[in-house]
Every structure is written in structure tokens, then in C-alpha cells.
Structure 1
Amino acid sequence: MSTYRNLGLFLVLSALWGSAFMAIKAGLSAFPPVLFAALRYDVAGAVMLGYAALRADRWYPRGRDEWATVTAGAALMIAAYHAFLFVGEQETTSAAAAVIVSLSPVLTTVFARGLLPDERLSAVGVVGIVLGLVGVVAVAQPDPNALLTDDVLPQLLVFAAALSFALGSVVTTYIDAGVEIETMEAWSMLGGAGLMHAVSVGLGESPSAITWSGTAVWSLAYLSLGASAAGFLIYFDLLERLGPVEINLVSYVAPLFAAITGFLFLEEVVDASTGLGFCCIFVGFVLIKRQALRRELPRLRAAFREEN
């Protein structure tokens, strides 16, 4: 294998997850938003369950704690995250949505501070959190007198998506049931899809509202098989080789691909406030995770250079 295998896979994963924001935006012209998200994870969950059956020691959860972990993942990391994201992205550019979502690792630190007793936050970390929030404000540019207008509400929904994912990450860690990650992902995807179907029905969405077209088919297929199924397979491989810091770094490369693909396929333009917001969020992340990055970066560089 090439010396640059890990770096290549890292960039592929960033491209898959970043371009997913563009595919969501494109598909929303053909699907009701929550139904679109549910269908995505019907397919992705089935694929991931097959992968878990092949790779995991046990492909199904067992016991109260393991099912609690799956339930938290399904409700927060799949259903709430994607329902808020898909609804919010109807009126938000791909790049802006990706930048707001990149706040998730920063928000994870906030929730971890309350739920995980081993987590500590220094004064520099507090500055990092504040910078992250400043970044979201720069992207959304809210008017204090009109926070629920059509211009701001979509960004707030995407922010709610980031909050949901961050809380889900901490809750599943807090439960610490020891369920294998492939099994947890598969059942969370399927459970989350079921929850989103229920929400979709409650919102009055109907399959008859789907406008089947080439765009509808490729966006659903890309999100289900590319960004979700293939993306998580690459993620598992890199997690094993590079460690958990890698996923946080992907969060900050993905918005670049969201901006590029949004411009190329949807003619979206990245404004200065979105770029400023991204810089603030990234600097906030570096301040919060500075010690972990200092420990991990030498190992990451070695992993990227190794022969496989």
C-alpha cells in the first residue's frame, strides 16, 4: 500500500462528509426534509447492520445498558441531529451548515464538563468555547430583535443539530456500555430512521410528495451508500489506525469540501462571515483540545507516513 494511504483515506472521508451537505441541499428539492433523512438511514442502517454481522463479535445489543447506548445514539446522534439539519438546510448554504456543524466537538466539551467527572476545562478552554460560539454568530448574523425570522431560524435549527450530536456523543460515552462501535452505529441508524419516520408522519409529510428524478435518486444513493455507509467504513479503519482525535480533525476539513461542492454543483457562494465563523470555530477547537493535539499530532504524522 502507498505510504500516503492514511492521508488519502482521511481526505476521502473529509470529502464524503463535506460533500454530503451539498447532496442534502440538492435532494431537498425532491424530498420532504425529515422523510429524506429517514430514507437515508433506512438504507445506510441496513448496510451497516450487514457490516456489523460480518465484523463485530456480536452484531446485536444485549442488556439494558447496551440498549440504552443505542437508544441515545438513535434519538440524539441520528434522529434529532439529522431532522434539525435537513429542515434547517432548506434555507442555509452547504458551507454555512457545515461550518455550524463543525462546532460539535466544541459543544461536546461543554456537555462533557457536566456529565463526565474526569473532564476539566481551563480558562483557555473557556476562551475556546466562547470563540466557537462567536463563530456561529458570525455565520448566522442574528438580529437580536428578530431571532426567529426566516433569515435566522434555519441556522438556529442547524445549531440545534450540532447540539444534539454533541449531547449524544457525551451521553453514549457516559453510559459506557462497551457495545462494539459497528453494532452501536448500525442499530442507532435503524432506530433513528424509525424515529424520523414517526416525526415525518407527525409533520404531515407524505411519500407522495417525493418528486422522483435523477437528482432525487443520486442524492439519496450518495448520502446512504457514500457519505453514510462508505464514510463510516473508512471512519472505522482510520479510528483504528489514527485514534479518536482524527474524527475531530475531519470536522474541520469537511466544511472546505462543502464549500467547494456547493459552489461547483449548486452555485453557492461562501461569504466573508461564513469564512470568519469557520476560523473562529477552528481556533476555539484548537484551544480546547490543545493538550490532546500536542500529544497526538506526532503519532498522527507517523501514522500518515507508515507503510501499509
Structure 2
Amino acid sequence: MRYRNLVLFLALAVAWGSAFTAIKAGLEFFPPVLFAAFRYDAAGVLMLAYAVYATDQWRPVSRQEWYLVGVGGLLLIAAYHAFLFVGEQGTTSAAAAIIVSLSPVLTTGFARGLLPDERLTALGIAGLLLGFAGVVVLSNPDPSNLVTRSTVSQLLVFLAAASFALGSVLTRRIDADLPIETMEAWSMLLGAVLMHVVSRLLGESVAGVEWTADAVLALAYLVVVASALGFLVYFDLLERLGPIEINFVSYAAPVVAAVTGFLVLQETPSVFTVAGFTLIVIGFALLKRDALRDEVRSIRRSIGTRD
């Protein structure tokens, strides 16, 4: 199929962008951290089944592989989703998706500090600062009261993005040859366990869940569409497109979140939301300018070869 990659890319953007709306809708019925834990209880089992089917190594064996799973479970799954689900209680789907889209920018910043081969140029620093400025503009804080519900919620979502970015960098530092499907499956299961512990510490309980049809639909959508099917598409595209192009899903997802948030929850993005998103995208372009330039050249060569 000639446009297979484009179709899959758009499908992934829709799955992951609409997930922010599904989270927001489900929070009406679930305690937030318990909601996230339920999501990865089921998603982890599905991903593990896929790892058994698709890989030659369905479980970690070495100490380094377990370290990899530990970092993934703690930062990429537990910390990221706990902060995100709690934070989305006080902000819109689109705003949460836009703040999370800062992750590739933060990843570059952490990489410059933690990976010895990475260096940050003046333009790279400008890109990083623009990304942070985008979050500030989006949140539009009131100087006289910086602890409003909206501002605190968006700070929590920012911590979610930072957790994911830090986890992405730390996993690169661990020398473990574990299939990505296996790493994701065990990270999901470990992350789910950690979130259940945090949920109990916060006083959440299953008794606080309202098991309505809408609640089940939101949870099922997150498990099946956003997690299971979404990650399968992601793995396929990662192999075909590489890590630079796949990063653009982070910038297509907020558009989907804004549309679905408006259609499903009647959320209306503000001018600050749009301005903040624009600054974050520009910051990403400055940080990844060399890689983006190489991708453009590669696409041009590919088009020239077909012609």
C-alpha cells in the first residue's frame, strides 16, 4: 500500500491524541491513580501476550535487563501516568496533550546533561527555553495566585512529561539487549503494581469507582485502542520511520485531543493553548534541526529515486 506509513501515522496520532479525552472522560468515574493502574493491568497482560508471540525473549533474564524494566516501570509508566491522570482533573485534554508534547524537547535537554556524547548548542538552548516558555504561555498563570487548580494541574502534567523524558534518557544508558515489546510489557506490569501501591497510599479504593457504561467504555478504549493497538502501530512505525519522524506523533496528538475534547467534552482551546503549542513546536524544530534537515534530504532522495 503506497500510503501505508501515512495511514498508520495518522491512526497512531488519533489513538494517542484521543486517549487524553478518554482519560478526562473516565476521571468522572475513577479515582485517578487507580484508573491509570487499571489501564496498565490489562494493557500489560495484552502486551506480554504479544511479546510471547512476536519475540524470542518474552521475559528479562540479566540484571541489566531488569534494570531497564525497572526504569521503564517507574518513570515511563508509573510516574508519567500517575502525574498525568491526577493532573488532567484540572485541565483540558488539549492542554494536557500539548504539555506532554514537550517530552521530546525535555528528552533532548536531559540527554545533553546525562549522556556524555550529547552537547547543547546556543540554538539548542534557545529551543529548550522556547519549549518551557510554551508551557508558561499555555498555563497563563495569575501572578497574584500561582496555586490555582488549573496551574497546579498543568504543573503535574509537566512533571509527567519530565518523568517520561528522563526515563527515555536513562533507558538509553542501560546496556541491555531486550526486545522493545518485552521491555514495554514488563514495564507496564511493574508500573501498574507501583500505581496500585500509590493509589492505596492516597486512600483510593475500588469502592470509589462508578462502574457505568461510560466508565467501562473509557477504560476499554485506553486499554485496547490507545495502549495495545497504539503500541503495536508505534513499534511498526518506529522500525519503518525511525525515532525522529515518529516524534511528530507528539505534535499531531494535541490537534486530535483538541478536536475530540471539543466534540466529546465540549472543551474549547484558548488562544493561550494555541500560542503555547506553537512555541513548543518551534522549540522542538530548533533542537532537532540537524536531524530534521537529514530527514528532509532523505525524503527528497527517496522521491527522486521513485521518479
TM-score (normalizing by structure 1): 0.96
Q: Mapping of 1:81-230 within 5 angstroms?
A: 81-230=80-229
Residue 302 of structure 1 and its aligned partner are, at CA, apart by 7.4
Farther off after superposition, 139-148 or 217-226: 139-148
Per the TM alignment, residue 56 of structure 1 is displaced from its structure 2 partner at its CA by 1.3
Letter in 2 for 1:213: T
- Give the Cα–Cα distance (whole angstroms) in 2 for the partners of residues 303 and 268 of structure 1: 41
Consecutive unaligned residues of structure 2, counting only runs of 5 or more, are: none
For 1:222-301, list aligned pairs within 5 A.
Answer: 222-299=221-298
What is the letter of the counterpart of residue 136 of structure 2?
A: V
| SS of alignment partner, residue 151 of structure 1 | helix
In the aligned structure 2, how far is the partner of 1:197 from the partner of 1:116?
32
Q: Does the 8 A contact of 1:19 with 1:261 survive in 2? A: yes
Distance in 1 separating the partners of 2:46 and 2:295 = 32
Looking at structure 2, the residues matched to 306 and 185 of structure 1 have their Cα atoms a distance apart, in angstroms, of 36
Q: What is the deviation of 1:303?
A: 7.5
Distance 2:281 2:303 in 1: 22
Name the CA distance, whole Å, in 1 between partners of 2:97 and 2:268.
14
Q: Counterparts of 1:217 and 1:232 in 2: how far apart (Å)? A: 21
Q: Which amino acid aligns with 1:76?
A: L
Moved more, 298-307 or 177-186: 298-307
Percent sequence identity over aligned pairs? 62
Are the aligned partners of 1:4 and 1:305 in contact in 2 as well (CA < 8 Å)? no
1:37 aligned onto 2:36: yes
**1:246 counterpart letter in structure 2:** E
Please give the secondary structure, in 2, of the residue aligned with 1:152: helix
Deviation per CA, 1:85-112, whole angstroms, max 9, x where unpaired? 0000001100000000000000001110
DSSP-derived class of the 2:150 partner = coil
Deviation of 1:148 (Å): 2.4
> How far is 1:49 from its partner?
0.3
Give 5+ residue unaligned stretches, structure 1.
none
Name which of structure 1's ranges 156-165 and 174-183 shifts more when overlaid on structure 2.
Answer: 174-183
Counterpart code for 2:15: L
Count residues in correspondence: 306
Provide Cα deviations, 1:193-248, integer angstroms capped at 9, x if missing partner.
00000000110001011101111011000001100110000001111111111221
1:74/1:274 Cα in 2 relative to 1: closer, same or farther (>3 Å)? same
CA distance in 2, matches of 1:71, 1:50: 20
Cα gap change, 1:8/1:303 in structure 2, threshold over 3 Å: closer, same or farther? Answer: farther
CA RMSD of aligned residues (A): 1.6
Distance 1:149 1:243, change over 3 A: same
The equivalent of 2:7 in structure 1 is 8
